[in-house]
Amino acid sequence: MAQEHVFTVIDKDATYTIGSPSGTTLLQALRQLGDLALEAPCGGNGSCGKCKVRILQGEVSSPQTEETHLLSAQELRGGIRLACRTYLLDGVDQQLVIATMHHTGTSQVMAAFTGGMPLENLRFHAQDIEIERSSAEDQRSQLARLMDEVAVHPALKSPRNLRHLQRTIGHTSIRCLMDQGKVVSILDPKEKAYGLSIDIGTTTVVVYLVELLNGAVVDYRAALNDQKRFGADVISRIEAVAGQPKGGLLLQHTIVRQLDKMAAELCQAHSIPTDSLIELCAVGNTTMLHLLLGVDPASIAVAPFTPVFTENLSCPVSQLGFTHISDTTLCVPGSIASYVGADITAGVLASGITRQTKPVLFLDIGTNGEIALWDGAQLYCCSSAAGPAFEGASILHGTGGITGAVSSVSWVKDEQGKPSIIYQTIGENIPIGICGSGIIDATAALLELGLVDETGAMLDSQEDGSQLIIATPAGNAFSIVSATDHPVYLTHKDVREVQLAKAAIAAGIRTLMYESGLSLDDLQAVVIAGGFGSFIDIGKAQRIGLLPPVDPGIISSVGNAAGKGAVLSLLDPTAYEAMEQIIHQARYIELSSSPQFMQYYIDEMTFPTEGFNTHG
């Protein structure tokens, strides 16, 4: 039997002592812990090089090939290792002490959304209901007195709401929160009513605090999804827990713990008792919603990609394991398919495209690129596995949109025609890596400077007169930041990742065009949802062939449309009905079995030669 190995972990805010059998990896051991500053985008297969930890004391397994490849000699000398490739050893004397590595910067998550919410009516309103006074002869319950005066929602009969009702005993006027004419909750006099709208992205999580009676978004919290230490994309997370009994529940506990904490923090920051939270709405992709509910999403990962549910549903948050907030109802709008989730339903709702009479293209580019094309009557949808390149995960120096990430790259030429690179970082901090918008810019720069050809082949550093292509342990690479201790470059392998990612998106768009019989000229608008869309340079995204060659004037970014849809669910009395209508109008196209997609994908693998590809 393997020896139990007890060791110490020094994290950002806390120190933990945990035990794990010898022979397990540090990553496996660390996954036991709650809120740990550790990412493993590749799911722990030694390919992404992100799960760095520092060994402060004690002995572990020797560095493996992947580590010598992905870590610099300096890092290895400094005790930095990849948690997924470092094993706990048997029979060591000195206790092991490790420290997590983390960027002190905060994550730049796009939580904002464009456009107001000009709602004629809000879904909720407060109303004082007069009830008859109790007497020895009339011992009807307080609930019966209320029900004799006004229609009540079934949710009013929850233990939590009955506790609120208890506080009104002896009163003959009860302040009720009405949801479309029915009492859903009891308010104390002057109590405000709040809801939370939750957008669970594979990468980022946003929780909005919404004041129900005036429709204001009071505040929000955004963070990287704590599930990231199980993998950057849904498939790696599913695989990371596959075969483990209760593996799905492990992922559930991770996200629930995070949401629970964010919700409680938001309430605390505004001195709102969590009892004033009336309803939560959570959107996310289909896998995230399965994980939220503790339902194993394994069948989503393999053909024929059957989800357990895509239907809208609701349950008390206690059923999911929330403990920091009062036991209110969480509602989940319906999803469209395994890879087109409720975040798209909500996003389409918020964007209003299905109320248009002319064709509109809707893009939500994240780890997956969800694409929807409205032709005026039907919503063609697909999901294209772009991979996490644009989220920085499969890119050697890639990073999320955190402070210090290179977010924009351009070039100027001097009088001799020698180009030099200009970059900006988020928060104007010292550069620590490159995020999605920077990756697109850098790729565009490589194409513009002729350092990469249309096939994606990079000049060799020996041949490059500009000195921008340098030799690195990872081969030829485009040097973006060189003058600091922490150089940032884009390798020739990174460029291949970008090619694959942009080809997947572009081919997905063309497949929907094909299915609908529309051409790019028919498009009235192209709407880009999601944080990513807000930060990219549209021209450069068109230059590398990620966005279609339409008039840039019709392309607009709407911010976090999914989050906006989740907010609307709390405010717009017609939201849920409208989302059901959207699902009803949706026609899902499975790309993996589409011959058109395969052909387009091959076509789109090359970069546009001059300006734009020609589409559809």
Enumerate binding residues for its own copies (CB under 8 A): 134-144, 147, 157-160, 162-163, 165-166, 169-170, 293-296, 299, 303-311, 313, 315-316, 318-320, 327, 337-338, 588, 590, 592-593
- Shortest Å distance, C-beta 385 to its own copies: 14
C-beta atoms surrounding 106 within 10 Å: 13
Query: 74 or 135: whose CB is closer to its own copies?
Result: 135
30 HSE (CA, 13 A, CB side): 35
Task: Give whichever of 127 and 306 is closer to its own copies, judged by the CB atom.
Answer: 306
CB of 594 to its own copies, least distance (A): 9
Of the pair 306, 356, the CB lying nearest its own copies is at: 306
Q: Shortest gap between Cβ of 179 and its own copies (angstroms)?
A: 17
Helix (H, G, I), strand (E, B) or coil at 202: coil
User: Rounded to an integer, what distance in angstroms lies between the CA atom of residue 161 and that of residue 280?
Assistant: 15
Burial of 258 (0-12, 13-18, 19+ CB in 10 A): buried
Whether 229 contacts 43, CB under 8 Å? no
Identify residue 177 by its one-letter amino acid code.
L
Nearer to its own copies, 74 or 139 (CB): 139
Distance from C-alpha of 543 to C-alpha of 347, rounded to nearest angstrom: 26
Shortest distance, position 509 Cβ to its own copies, whole Å: 20
Min dist. Cβ of residue 543 to its own copies (A): 34
Please state the separation of Cα 437 from the chain's center in Å.
16
User: Least separation, in Å, of the C-beta of 137 and its own copies?
Assistant: 7
How far apart are CB 169 and its own copies at their closest, in Å?
Answer: 4
Q: Among residues 315 and 430, whose Cβ is nearest to its own copies?
A: 315
CB-nearer residue toward its own copies: 98 or 187: 187
CB 437 within 8 A of CB 408: yes
Output 158 or 425, the one with its CB closest to its own copies: 158
Question: Among residues 307 and 531, whose Cβ is nearest to its own copies?
Answer: 307
85 or 164, CB closer to its own copies? 164
| Spatial distance between the Cα atoms of 529 and 533, rounded to a whole number of angstroms | 6
- Nearest approach, Cβ of 140 to its own copies (angstroms)? 8
Using the structure block, give the residue that is written with the tokens 């020896």: 3
DSSP collapsed to 3 states, 381-411: EEEECCCHHHHCCCCCCECCCECCEEEEEEE
User: Which amino acid makes up residue 310?
Assistant: T
> How far does CA 65 lie from the centroid of its chain?
31
d(CA 92, CA 60): 9
Q: How many residues does the chain have?
A: 616
**Least distance in angstroms from the C-beta of 540 to its own copies:** 35
Nearer to its own copies, 156 or 520 (CB): 156
DSSP state of 320: G
* Per-position b or e across 143-159, b if 16+ CB within 10 A of its CB: eebbbeebebbebbebe
With respect to its own copies, which residue has the nearer C-beta, 310 or 354?
310
Place of tokens 């393999």: 302
Q: How far is the CB of 154 from its own copies (least distance, A)?
A: 9
CB of 511 to its own copies, least distance (A): 14
Task: Count CB atoms within 10 A of the CB of residue 95.
Answer: 12
Find the farthest-apart pair of alpha carbons in the chain and give their distance in angstroms, rounded: 100
Tokens of 358: 């002319």
- Residue 462 φ/ψ region, left for φ over 0, alpha for ψ in the -120 to 50 degree band, beta for the rest: alpha
Give the residue from 494, 501, 497, 496 showing the smallest Cα distance to 478: 494
DSSP bridge pairs for 19: 6
Minimum distance from residue 247 beta carbon to its own copies (Å):
12
Q: Which is nearer to its own copies, 227 or 338 (by Cβ)?
A: 338
